[in-house]
Chains A and B, each alone.
Chain A
Amino acid sequence: MIPATFDYARPQSTDEAVRVLAEAGPEAKVLAGGQSLLPILRLRLSFPELLVDLGAVDALRGIRQDGAQLVIGAMTTHHEVVHDPLVRAHAGLLARAAATVADPAVRHRGTLGGSLAHADPAGDLPAVCLALDATMVVLGPQGFRTVPAAEFFVDYLQTALRPDELLTEIRIPAMDGWGFHYEKFQRVAQAWAVVGVAAAVRPAQDGRGIAEARIGLVNMGARPMRAHLTETALTGADGSEEAIGRAATLAAEGTHPPTDLSGSAEYREHLARVLTQRAVLAAAGTA
Chain B
Amino acid sequence: MTDQLTGQAPGREVGRARTRKEDARLVTGQTTWTDNLTAPGLLHVAILRSPLAHARIERVDVRSALEREGVVGAFSGADLAEGLGSLPCAWQVTEDMVLPEHPALAVDEVRHVGDPVAVVVARDRYTAADALEDVLVDYEPLPPVLDLEAALADDAPLVHADKGTNRCYTWPLVSGDYAAARAAADVVVRRRHHQQRLIPNAMEPRASMAVPVPATGEYTLYSSTQIPHIVRVMMALTTGIPEQKLRVVAPDVGGGFGSKLQVYGEDAIALTLARRLGQPVKWTESRSESYQAQHHGRGQIQDVELAATRDGRLLGMKVDLLADMGAYLMIITPGTPLLGAFMYPGIYKMDAYDFHCTGVFTTRTPTDAYRGAGRPEATFAIERTMDELAAELGLDPLELRRRNWIRHEEFPFTTVAGLTYDSGDYAAATDRALALFGYDDLRAEQRARHENLDPVRLGIGISTYTEMCGLAPSRILGSLRYAAGGWEAAMIRMLPTGKVEVITGTSPHGQGHVTAWSQITADALGVPFEDVEVMHGDTRVAPQGMDTYGSRSLVIGGIAVHEAALKVVAKARKVAAHLLEASEDDLEFADGAFSVRGSPEARKTIQEVAFAVFAAHDLPEGMEPTLNAEHLLDPDNFSYPHGTHLCAVEVDTETGKVAIRSYVCVDDVGRVVNPMIVEGQVHGGVAQGIAQALYEEAVYDDAGNLVSGTMADYLVPAAPDLPDLVTDRTETPATSNPLGVKGVGEAGTIASTPAVVNAVMDALRPLGVRDIRMPCTPERVWRAVKEATAAASAAADAAGKEGPS
Contact = CB atoms under 8 A, between A and B. Distances in A.
- On whether the two chains bind one another, the answer is yes
Interface of A: 1-2, 4-5, 42-43, 103, 185, 187-192, 194, 260-264, 267, 270-271, 274-275
Given A188-B695, A260-B713, 11 more contacts: A2-B125, A2-B130, A5-B126, A187-B715, A188-B720, A190-B718, A191-B715, A192-B712, A263-B777, A263-B779, A275-B655
21 contacts: A1-B286, A2-B126, A2-B130, A5-B130, A42-B286, A103-B718, A185-B657, A185-B778, A187-B778, A188-B721, A190-B718, A190-B720, A192-B712, A194-B778, A261-B699, A261-B707, A261-B708, A263-B777, A270-B782, A271-B655, A274-B655
Interface in B753-789: 777-779, 782-783
Contacts of A188: 695, 715-718, 720-721
Interface centre among A185, A260, A267 (most CB of B within 10 A): A267
A187 B777 contact: yes
B129 interface: yes
B710 interface: yes
Interface in B628-659: 654-655, 657
A189 B130 contact: no
A1 B287 contact: yes
Contacts of B715: 187-188, 191
B197 to A, nearest CB: 14
Interface of B: 125-126, 129-130, 286-288, 654-655, 657, 695, 699, 707-708, 710, 712-713, 715-718, 720-721, 777-779, 782-783
Contacts of A194: 778
Contact of A43 (B655, B695, B710): B710
A42 B129 CA distance: 11
Nearest to A271: B655
A207 B787 CA distance: 41
Contacts of A43: 288, 710
B723 to A, nearest CB: 13
A223 to B, nearest CB: 20
A85 B695 CA distance: 37
A261 B713 contact: yes
Contacts of B654: 274
A185 B655 contact: yes
Nearest to A277: B654
A23 to B, nearest CB: 25
Give the 6 A-B CB pairs with smallest separation, nearest first.
Answer: A1-B286, A189-B720, A2-B129, A267-B779, A188-B721, A263-B779
Contacts of A263: 777-779
A264 B288 contact: no
Nearest to A273: B654
A65 to B, nearest CB: 33
A189 B535 CA distance: 39
A194 B699 CA distance: 18
B294 to A, nearest CB: 15
Contacts of B130: 2, 4-5
Nearest to A1: B286
A106 B707 CA distance: 24
B574 to A, nearest CB: 59
A274 B653 CA distance: 11
A189 B721 contact: yes
A1 B35 CA distance: 14
A267 B720 CA distance: 24
A140 B717 CA distance: 43
A191 B655 contact: no
A187 B717 CA distance: 9
